[in-house]
């Protein structure tokens, strides 16, 4: 810089001003770090509160399933229509089980009575031998015509479940207790706590148009060969 007398002088900013600028920059950096740390801390606290609330909250019990009448399919509260078996909840199955058991004391297996064999009525003797013992039976369904291809085919799982539920409802209306389980498409496992009722289950199922074959104790009988009242 040229002076008033033509001499050359160097311009040096005061040290104090430079120190102040540096100090302001440091203060700004420190404030930014503090603000960022506070934001992270607040976010962590909110997350911890939400996690604590979710742990403390207990799951609400599933509402009791509703149905029209005893033994009928539960009704969907949204559509007002009866549910398909594939849409049943645990509460729906529990309600059906309670209806099947009915009021009274828990089931007690009675001792099978001693019955002499009568050649004219062998089924009575066999029923007495099975009385009070659990029984498992299998019902195979017939083929149905496919609405699209026109060919005969087996039912799928959902279609088999619908047949099983319909048969169970009809049994309950006749005071016959048996529980169905779909084990394969077109095949249903039926169980009863009293084996003497198995003959009634057999007679009922083989009268149904959907049932083609019945199996019990590894013995099979087809509908066309069945005579009501005959033993297995």
> What is the reported pLDDT for 2?
47
Pure H helices in 76-179: 90-101, 122-130, 157-173
> What is the reported pLDDT for 134?
87
On whether the CB atoms of residues 94 and 70 are closer than 8 A, the answer is no
> What is the reported pLDDT for 17?
67
Strand partners, 179: 191
Tokens standing for residue 63: 């509402």
> What is the reported pLDDT for 28?
76
For the chain, residues with pLDDT lower than 70 are 1-18, 40, 42, 53-81, 84-86, 99-129, 229-232
> What is the reported pLDDT for 70?
46
Specify the pTM.
Answer: 0.47
> What is the reported pLDDT for 133?
83
Beta strands in the chain (DSSP E): 135-141, 144-145, 152-153, 179-184, 187-192, 211-216, 219-222
3-state helix, strand and coil shares in percent for the chain, rounded to the nearest 5 = 40, 15, 40
């Amino acid at each position: 810089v040229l002076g008033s007398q033509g001499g050359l002088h160097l311009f040096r900013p005061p040290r104090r001003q430079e120190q102040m600028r540096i100090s302001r920059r440091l203060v700004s950096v420190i404030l930014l770090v503090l603000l960022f740390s506070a934001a992270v801390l607040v976010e962590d606290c909110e997350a911890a509160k939400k996690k604590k609330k979710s742990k403390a909250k207990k799951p609400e019990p599933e509402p009791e399933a509703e149905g029209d009448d005893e033994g009928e399919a539960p009704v969907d509260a949204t559509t007002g229509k009866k549910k398909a078996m594939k849409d049943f909840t645990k509460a729906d199955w529990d309600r059906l089980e309670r209806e099947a058991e009915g009021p009274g004391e828990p089931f007690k297996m009675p001792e099978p009575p001693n019955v002499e064999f009568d050649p004219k009525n062998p089924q009575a003797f066999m029923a007495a031998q099975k009385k009070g013992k659990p029984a498992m039976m299998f019902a195979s369904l017939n083929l149905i015509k496919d609405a699209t291809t026109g060919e005969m085919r087996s039912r799928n799982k959902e279609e088999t479940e619908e047949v099983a539920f319909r048969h169970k409802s009809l049994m309950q209306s006749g005071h016959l207790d048996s529980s169905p389980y779909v084990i394969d498409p077109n095949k249903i496992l039926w169980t009863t706590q009293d084996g003497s009722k198995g003959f009634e289950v057999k007679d009922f199922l083989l009268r149904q148009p959907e049932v083609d074959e019945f199996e019990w104790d590894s013995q099979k009988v087809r509908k066309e060969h069945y005579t009501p009242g005959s033993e297995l």
